[in-house]
Amino acid sequence: MYEYTVKTNKTVEEVQQALHDTIASYQFGVLWELDLQETLKKKGIDHDQSSLILEVCNPKKAKELIDQNPLANLFLPCKIAVYEVDGVNTIGLPRPTVQAEMIGDEKLKEIAKEIETILIQLIDEVK
């Protein structure tokens, strides 16, 4: 499966705050954040569902990936999305292992698995 997703009873804003409050304890940081609903609104496009995308990174793991295979640059930084579908909020990420698998480098996939495991633990904690 390409993605890992979980449903949450929290609001998008509550998940956003929980991610910011918790992510450093996993040695990750938020590099960038996009409120897609707000961005579309500024462009004159109505989108009723909340959608927040965070780009996150563990610098040591990112360096490890890139040192192993420069093609890892193509799927960095990692993304965590918080979005609403039919009134239900979801937290998810594209699995780094799936992205690494497409490159065909087993060592890269091992490092990606470590990162994926950490991000899944983070998501499960904040849900």
**79 pLDDT above the threshold of 90:** yes
Write the pLDDT tens digit of every residue in 39-61. Answer: 999 999 998 899 999 999 999 99
**86 pLDDT above the threshold of 90:** no
* pTM metric for this prediction: 0.93
Domain count of the fold of the chain: 1
CB contact set of 89 (below 8 Å; sequence gap of 6+): 7, 8, 9, 10, 11, 12, 15, 50, 82, 83
**118 pLDDT above the threshold of 90:** yes
Q: Which two tokens stand for residue 19?
A: 């991610």
CATH of the domain at 14: 3.30.310.70
Write the pLDDT tens digit of every residue in 100-114. Answer: 999 999 999 999 999
Tell me which of 91 and 48 has the higher pLDDT: 91
Range of 40's domain? Answer: 3-126
Write the pLDDT tens digit of every residue in 15-44. Answer: 999 999 999 999 999 999 999 999 999 999
Q: Which two tokens stand for residue 27?
A: 């040695």
